[in-house]
Amino acid sequence: MLNDLNIGSDDPSELRRANALLAAEVKSQALLIEKLQHQLAGHNRHRFGSKSESLDQLNLTFEEEEQIAASAKAQTDPVPAAEEDKPPRQHSRKPLPDHLDRQDQVLSPGEQCSHCGGSLKTLGEDVTEELEYVPGRFVVNRIVRPRKACADCETFVQSPLPSRPIERGRPGPGLLAHVLVSKYADHLPLYRQSQIYARDGVDLERSTLSDWVGRSTALLEPLADAIGRMVRQGDGIFADDTPVKMQAPGQKKTKTARVWTYVRDERPWSGQSPPCAWYQFTVDRKGEHPTNHLTGYKGWVHADGYSGFNGLFGESKAREMACMAHVRRKFVDVFAAQGSSVAEEAVRRIAKLYAMEKEARRKSPQERIALRQAKAKPVFDELEQWLHDQLARISGKSPLAKAIRYALGRLPKARAYLDHGCLELDNNTAERAVKPVAIGRKNWMFAGSEGGGKAMAVAFTLIETAKLNGVDPQAWLSWVLERIADHKINRLDELMPWRYAEQSAQQ
């Protein structure tokens, strides 16, 4: 276009036309350079990050996850009547290593016959060995049950075997808790755990560990569901999701599934409820999933701008609180890529709002509202008007303009925190809750199937809720697994991590 111009002409009209075209060309090139700089900055941030794992590496955990799903199903499925009449299956298990310490627990039926009062004499005994883990080492619990007979009426008696987390299995509750926490909190896939245990002289195959994880999470699922119900009773909750790899059924490739998290944390406004985190797994990111998860919920939901959450909001539904951290992040990206003074000023103004939130933390809802109305509202109003003014002065196609338009679209939905003390300025509570999933994802923790993903969600719900309450998840899960087999389903609140903390403090 510029080649057709006669730049050397003395005609004023021709020179003005050339000047206008040159200005348009310079502006176009500047926009292109700005766009490319923004893209390059983004690519550079990802360039040195962790690379996607090869399919061979993924297969190491896919096999584990498939076995976990199968074992979870087997744990919850009722035993067919035909199977109940069959004699117990004879296992070809290897004996537990001789070098491990043995701790005997003797379950005696007593010294007198309950039928006639005669004395009992010992005929023999049954010994059940249970592999247990106490912090730092393996031990073997020997449950000794003497078989006795009455000297007078010849009645045979023996104490019953106590209930155990996994029937016909030999892991103790401490070992099951250790495997769960190692996999889902410490991000150690089961094949790595198997290698670590082998160095201690304990031979535990991956298939065995997978079976334990599947059965344990199935046993603990009612407790995770109870935590989910507590989350949905809060005045305000935090919602987010993150992708995880899942093996496509019948194929050697993966698809992208999602882990959703919903958090209730009232500590910033001195609420009375303990903090809880509830996780759910789905095979895709359709908006119907959060709508189903929060059916009937009418409180506030802190969320990012993902359109899939829109089904939650409306008349007689939940209300939306937008995330200022997402707004801020857009301007940080523009400033990092281009050094824009406007983006820098936007970040500075948003930082003022966060500085005021430090003052509001741990205050009552009424005190938070008063402080925000007096100090934060003027800053919030000025920020919104200032962004409107800046948008009129810059190119509408620039990354900065996109960041401003995003901010102006979210600010009206973020304004609610000024009038409600139970709300936070951002959704960072949920983002922190999905971080353990992202860390595990980098350590090849993938879902081999939908069932494996659901087992993962149960484990994350329990472990992260314990951590939010300052409770050691391994100690708590050991305590729960020791009791849950015989615990009444309508008294699950007695097994919550804060109940465990109260009992531990009294001992």
Separation between Cα atoms, residue 334 and residue 35, nearest integer Å: 10
pLDDT score for 2: 45
Beta bridge partners of 253: none
- Whole-angstrom distance, CA of residue 236 vs CA of residue 275: 12
Cα–Cα separations (whole angstroms), residue 414 to 29, 305, 321, 343, 476? 36, 11, 5, 19, 38
**In terms of Cα–Cα distance, which of 143, 129, 135 is closest to 98?**
129
Instruction: Give the per-residue pLDDT at 164.
Output: 85
Sequence-ordered list of residues with C-beta below 8 angstroms from that of 356, at least 6 positions apart, any chain: 371, 372, 375, 376, 379
Closest CA to 208 of 185, 179, 178, 173: 179
If you write DSSP's letter for every residue of 248-317 in order, what string do you get? PTTSSSEEEEEEEEEEE--GGGT-SSPPEEEEEEESS--THHHHHHTTT--SEEE--S-GGGGGGBSTTS
Sheet arrangement for strand 236-247: 276-282, 254-264, 236-247, 300-302, 319-321
Q: 348: closest CA among 330, 333, 328, 334?
A: 328
- Taking the whole predicted model, whether its pTM rises above 0.85 is answered as no
Per-residue model confidence (pLDDT) at position 18: 64
The residue extents of the domains of the chain are 97-162, 226-460
| pLDDT (tens digit per residue) in 393-414 | 888 888 999 999 999 999 999 9
Residues in the chain with pLDDT values less than 70:
1-10, 14, 17-18, 21-22, 24-25, 28, 42, 45-66, 78-93, 250-252, 444-446
Q: Report the C-alpha gap between 429 and 424 in whole angstroms.
A: 9
CA-closest candidate to residue 257, choices 48, 461, 445: 445
| Token pair 């951002």: residue | 426
Cβ–Cβ under 8 Å, residues 429 and 238: yes
Whose CA is closest to 243, among 226, 232, 256?
A: 256
Q: Which amino acid is at 193?
A: Q
- Rounded Cα distance between 236 and 321, Å, is 9
pLDDT at position 4 is 46
Residues composing the chain:
507
